[in-house]
Amino acid sequence: MISKPLQVAVNEQINFELFSAYLYLSMSAHFESQNLPGFASWTRIQYQEETGHAMKLYRYLIDRNGAVTLKAIDQPATKFKTPLDIFKQILEHEQKVTVRIHKLYELASKEKDYAAEIFLQWFVNEQVEEEKNAGDIIAMLEMIGDSPVSVIMADRQLGARK
């Protein structure tokens, strides 16, 4: 059985993962409105990943005889600027997620919940990948600048993500 403090923290993380999904979906809608279907697809795939992360945590609580407590999801931003600005926001957001995952892992360690530590290791590794992906796209966008042709090429590249 999972401890009450860890149960509360996992529920909070479920909420934050669902907020992350909402944020990516909002970014996807923005990219659609800017006629950047590749960027829209990339962020929509991120939306699906974040929803999957929330459900992985949800399932874990159920498996540990914990109680899932769903709360209201904050409204994400709806106004965005350039693709580079958005990906800088994405990196900043993913860094916040990393801090939250590390705190969750620290709590599991403090609670001597070895099963939770092992489970959370997947999220620790996932955050390394999330930050790297955002950083790589930022580097590409900084390299190409504001050239419309280059942005279209980047859009096509991001749209190839499956």
**Model's pTM, two decimal places?**
0.95
Distances (CA, A) of 114 to 15, 60, 74, 80, 98: 23, 14, 32, 41, 20
pLDDT band at 45 (very low <50, low <70, confident <90, very high): very high
Q: Which domains does the chain have, with CATH numbers?
A: 4-159 (1.20.1260.10)
Distance, CA of 155 to CA of 162 (rounded, Å): 14
Each residue of 111-149: pLDDT tens digit? 999 999 999 999 999 999 999 999 999 999 999 998 899
Distance, CA of 87 to CA of 84 (rounded, Å): 5
Residue 11, both tokens? 């529920």
